[in-house]
Amino acid sequence: MISLVSSLALSLSLAIAPPGEPTAPAQVTPPVAKPEVAKPEVVKPEATKPEATKPEAAKPDPARARVEEFLEALEKSGATIESMSGSLSLEKYDALLEETERRFGRLVLDKAGGKRRFTIHFEEFIDGSGRADRAIDHWIYADGWLCEQDFRNKSFTKRQIVAPGETFDPLALGEGPIPIPIGQKKAEVLARFEVAETEIPLDIPLLGSMRNVAGLKLVPKAGTPMAKETAAIELFYDRTSLAPTGVVIREKSGNRSVARITKPVVNGEVSDDDRKLLVIPSPDPKEWTIDVCPWRKPE
């Protein structure tokens, strides 16, 4: 505020006698004070303080909403899949050797009687040098037992991987030998992984022919079973049938596994030839090396 200094002007009035008359003592008229006129104070306006900005409500993330909606659809769809079959290609890349092995065969899934069984029947193997072999490698899961029949080495391994009376999903992420996830529960996926949308990877030619697919990228959360070795999982599903068509598992070591399912048939008639592949065989012990491992409680 600006300070104002005020001053008073005093006037003296003298009475002078007319000439010839005795001079009377001068009378002093007391000064009359003029009333002080107060000047209005000039007040500088203070700087206007900006109003406190209210935090904006978090805007919905469209990508996150699409991910959750798609996971819900996959969970519902998985519950309705009674059977599925298709051609299967499996590719494993060894980062240390910089070599890729490939297998080609067939996948069959059946849920007859409420119990899920599946088989993967490989008929062709191509090693890292490009040499092809027509030997059969047959995987079967049924009734809590996981079997591998290696025709090349004439070996048969049968392991009980589920405690008697308990249930097990061999196609769940991180559970079965081949990553073909079907019917994953949304809550379980979100509890174990950070999930986002993804595109078909350009570094994997095996998946380049996929069309009309939706992709999800799953990164294991710290402290979960897969977090130690797995960097990310990429899942691809047919947008119409929601059948899995491609899976990529990238390990922190640089190793990579890729599965590609072509021409998947969902809830179609299971052929007699496919049903035979779902039956656990009993090979002749005179011709095969057999190893049977009943359930053992982990120590």
pLDDT tens for residues 112-147? 777 788 899 999 999 989 999 888 999 999 888 999
Per-residue pLDDT, 135: 82
Q: Locate 78 and state its tokens.
A: 């998985």
The mean per-residue pLDDT over the stretch 44-59 comes to 60
Q: Does residue 253 form part of some domain?
A: yes
**Cα 35-41-42 angle, rounded to 5 deg:** 145
Q: Locate 42 and state its tokens.
A: 């000039």
Q: Locate 180 and state its tokens.
A: 């073909």
Residue 157 has pLDDT above 50, yes or no: yes
Residue 11 has pLDDT above 80, yes or no: no
pTM over 0.85: no
CA distance 30 to 27: 9
Q: Does residue 34 form part of some domain?
A: no
Q: Are 152 and 287 in contact (CB under 8 A)?
A: no
Tens of pLDDT along 230-241? 999 999 999 998
Tell me, what CATH number does 203's domain have? 2.50.20.10
Q: Does residue 223 form part of some domain?
A: yes
Q: Does residue 22 form part of some domain?
A: no
Q: Are 171 and 177 in contact (CB under 8 A)?
A: no
- Look up the domain containing 166 and give its range: 66-280+287-293
Q: Does residue 250 form part of some domain?
A: yes
Residue 32 has pLDDT above 90, yes or no: no
CA distance 244 to 207: 12
C-alpha of 116 from chain center: 27
Q: Does residue 144 form part of some domain?
A: yes
Q: Does residue 273 form part of some domain?
A: yes
N-terminal to C-terminal alpha carbon distance within the chain: 85
Q: Does residue 139 form part of some domain?
A: yes
CA distance 124 to 152: 11
Q: Are 195 and 186 in contact (CB under 8 A)?
A: no
Provide, rounded to the nearest whole percent, the portion of the chain with pLDDT above 70.
Answer: 76
CA distance 119 to 124: 16
- In total, how many domains does the chain have? 1
